[in-house]
Structure 1
């Protein structure tokens, strides 16, 4: 793990997020007619701004720094940061995350605040964990804990683990070993499933309502089958668009994590060292394009570093107070925290400045919404 990997992950997430944002919720056919190819920012006068995908990545980084990678205190710290992030009126927040933040504010603990949803919220903030954690069991635990604060459906956690593991492989291996990636993911899921089975079996001896059903067992392993299909598609040199179509995503990639993650992993495996091609290929699939591009950007960026991300995209990222330089400083501090035995005070943001930024961002989002009412259709 180096500073370059962490900078690449955070900035890669931000650039992908900003490039994909204008395409969010638009079908591939209409996006091409209305916006054209994602070769530049199309959000605000050829400038890009980020959404919750990047913001959550930064929140996770801050919590890792503040807790010195301590799993006991991490949930409380991340939950506290989520509460204040929510209070600053972020635009485009997912329904499950919205409800989870409300629950946190009215007194639910991080262990009970999660909403039963298989949305892609946990996956969008998972790459940064793979950027800094080497041990597979630790990676699994960190992602699991962070995921379930907002999303209690196990599918959301499996998708997030797949993303974090991809980021870890992206920085550790060149070339990428697809089979090793799949084997390690299978190992993680099997270990977690076996633990769940043992726990549920012990409880079911007292209360039969807690017996693991065949449908739950099948669901726990579904992500591996989907990613195997992605690997097979890449091996056959199919495009990411063709793979998305094979999953029935003609109108774009949905926010369901078992749609988002396989398509994102396909784009990464197709272009593991080509940031531009990887991000553009997933945006062209349409749908939840800011999140899919943020995930792919974080994974590929983790491997290629900041220097592998097109400079014209970084330089035209128009953000404040969470600026490019602020994100660089956060990445440097996260790297430095790995060498300390005590928690550090992460760099902060001015709450009032974030609030004003979010209101301005909301106005631009609404203008994009009105624009979509007009042709071409």
Structure 2
């Protein structure tokens, strides 16, 4: 188990690597469903380069803040999100507005809580970027929960979004804690559940625990959601189900995840960030890493 800041940061970087490759891989399959499905069945590797999306752009900020402060400093994190905002990266409409307003000087607490008529966003954006937090704090699951919550609140204040972020972070932490062991899908998800607040997210993770081992991925996506509605509750349970099926095999986990279609860059980013902690970065196919556009200069040299 990683105990020094340097080793914990390396774990976070490894999760970021898996997240970013998964994000860019999934993004390449946003094609007509018939075309995407035929390519997935053929295991056709997409042509490079694979460009990453807002999932990775925001995860980069999270790892920078962990490196600088050793914890989630909410003010500095949201400043980084706003500074690094890139409208070409596929942010959701609500985040376009939120990050622009924060960049223009409005306090994040006011902006985030005002979204969607004051209920806050329950989009999947807090969950898609959070895996490195689970990797960084894996030795203390209560801290994983509190830090994941803090990272979500700056943009997503709805309880479902917070539950989704906590679920992904805890799953990543368990992947780190279980390195070298092979829990079943049900065992893995049952380790995550006690830390996830009662919510539609947790209800669907329970459902994922109970799905037959032989259920087709398309049926699982129908029951759990595949991110089509871009909500935490429609994204996180399916991504965790996919990761739990192939915790020791990054390539198989990503092919399974992308087979569910839906918000495939985000489901693949979530699954990739979890599974890479179990397999190590050496478990990510070298050709896939080379196909993904390079992360910003210096990101591999924080240590």
Would the TM-score normalized by the shorter structure come out above 0.5?
A: yes
Change (3 A) 1:37 1:104: farther
Is 1:171 aligned to residue 170 of structure 2?
no
Is 1:117 aligned to residue 100 of structure 2?
no
Is 1:182 aligned to residue 186 of structure 2?
no
How far did 1:64 drift?
Answer: 1.3
CA contact (8 A) 2:12 2:133 kept: no
Distance 1:127 1:91 in 2: 19
Structure 2 residue aligned with 1:103: 101
Change (3 A) 1:295 1:183: closer
Aligned residue pair count: 287
Change (3 A) 1:175 1:78: same
Structure 2 residue aligned with 1:254: 229
Change (3 A) 1:299 1:183: closer
Distance 1:186 1:35 in 2: 34
Structure 2 residue aligned with 1:294: 269
Larger-Rg structure: 1
Structure 2 residue aligned with 1:276: 251
Moved more, 110-119 or 270-279: 110-119
How far did 1:28 drift?
Answer: 4.0
Structure 1 residue aligned with 2:20: 14
How far did 1:158 drift?
Answer: 0.4
Structure 2 residue aligned with 1:198: none
How far did 1:67 drift?
Answer: 1.8
Q: Deviations over 1:190-222 (max 9, x none)?
A: xxxxxxxxxxxxxxxxxxxxxxxxxxxxxx432
Structure 1 residue aligned with 2:77: 78
Matches within 5 A, 1:194-209: none
Change (3 A) 1:98 1:169: same
Structure 2 residue aligned with 1:142: 147
Structure 2 residue aligned with 1:59: 61
Structure 1 residue aligned with 2:300: 328
Q: Which has the higher contact order (CA 8 A, sep 6+)?
A: 1
Query: Which of these residues, 130, 155, 160, is aligned with residue 165 of structure 2?
Result: 160
How far did 1:246 drift?
Answer: 2.8
CA contact (8 A) 2:250 2:276 kept: yes
Q: TM-score normalised to the size of structure 2? A: 0.86
How far did 1:142 drift?
Answer: 1.1
How far did 1:145 drift?
Answer: 1.3
CA contact (8 A) 2:14 2:277 kept: yes
RMSD: 2.4
Structure 2 residue aligned with 1:93: 91
Q: TM-score normalised to the size of structure 1? A: 0.70
How far did 1:248 drift?
Answer: 6.4
Distance 1:4 1:63 in 2: 14
Structure 1 residue aligned with 2:51: 49
Is 1:236 aligned to residue 213 of structure 2?
yes
Distance 1:157 1:164 in 2: 11
How far did 1:164 drift?
Answer: 0.5
CA contact (8 A) 1:255 1:288 kept: yes
How far did 1:155 drift?
Answer: 0.5
Matched position secondary structure for 1:48: coil
Q: Unpaired runs of 5+ in structure 2?
A: none
* Aligned structure 1 segments of 4 or more residues deviating by more than 6 angstroms: none
